[in-house]
Amino acid sequence: MYSISKRAHPIQFVNAFDILREQKRKLFGMPEIDNLLNFSDKKNICIVNRSTKYHNFLYSLFTQFCIDFYCFSNIDDLKRKNKTILIDAGSGNNLGYIHQNLIEKSIKTGFKIDKVLDNIIIVRAFTFYQFANIIINELPQFMNSLDRNIQIIVIDLLDTLFKTNRKRNSEFNLKKDFDENAKILDEIVNNLISISDKHFVIVSYNDIKNIAIGSITSKFKNTVNLNENYDISKEREQDKNNMQLQLEIKSINNIAKDFHVIKEG
């Protein structure tokens, strides 16, 4: 007889249909994007905004991610087991916009906003070190206390890292801030990647000046870049309620595609 440590290899019993559904999750609701994403083992995606024009679109996306994850199951009891942890690393400035988007979508589609809100847990970070403590120390402990399917959405990953008065910050100073905190940022991202073994992890950040380059996105299985450089003359020809997005999609399978989609704004 011999004994095996229970801590060494914890056993998990999971539903095969749930695994298949997660692997084929239609995150964006746009086939030209969703067909390129791969959630077969690690369920993570990094969304990088390289434009000043896409903030409203991003808020709409985050809102839809929350709604879709609540509706991921058709049975009410299972819906209550789906929890979204919404981490605002932008000093809490993003949550109001997302709440407003939830209200607007509730009015438009008729879903019950109180049930969706009940399944969203929010946390704000006002400094970079507070954010690091949340991801590295607090989040794993909190998740262990939940017997739930969890989706983590991190908004504005780099916001608290950079100086608050960005208008006075040169590109050199931004890069200096980034480099000085690179080790902590690396630990933050590695923790999120580890969590994505079991739970969905969606991370976004703004990098209009391309400070981070590929040091963050290279760690994620899927990346979506919202790019700035598109034909403005074509934009003017469009209906004012629509937005032309230039997207670069990459997955760990080296699938890459650069294209434009029209999205209602």
String of DSSP letters for 6-48: TTTS------HHHHHHHHT--SSS-HHHHTT---SS--EEEEE
The answer to whether residues 179 and 112 touch, using CB atoms and an 8 Å cutoff, is no
Query: Between 237 and 249, where is the model more confident?
Result: 249
Domain boundaries, the chain: 41-228
Q: What does the radius of gyration of the chain's CA atoms come to, in whole angstroms?
A: 19
Categorize the per-residue pLDDT at 238 as very low, low, confident or very high, splitting at 50, 70 and 90: very low
**Least-confidence region, from 15-19, 101-105, 238-242:** 238-242
Q: pLDDT for 38-82, tens place per residue? A: 888 889 999 999 887 778 889 999 999 999 998 765 555 555 578
Categorize the per-residue pLDDT at 156 as very low, low, confident or very high, splitting at 50, 70 and 90: very high
Residue 249 has pLDDT above 50, yes or no: yes
Q: pLDDT for 165-179, tens place per residue? A: 455 567 778 888 888
Categorize the per-residue pLDDT at 233 as very low, low, confident or very high, splitting at 50, 70 and 90: very low
**SS3 for 92?**
coil
- Interior CA angle at 219 toward 217 and 225, to 5°? 20
* Prediction pTM value: 0.80
* pLDDT on residue 196: 95
- Please report, rounded to a whole number, the percentage of residues in the chain having pLDDT higher than 70: 71
If one counts every other C-beta atom within 10 angstroms of the C-beta of residue 27, the result is 21
Task: Specify the fold of 41-228.
Answer: Rossmann fold (3.40.50)
Label each residue of 117-167 as H, E or C: HHCEEEEECCCHHHHHHHHHHHHHHHHHCCCCEEEEEEECCCCCCCCCCHH
- Would strands 222-227 and 242-251 be described as parallel, antiparallel, or unpaired? antiparallel
**SS3 for 219?**
helix
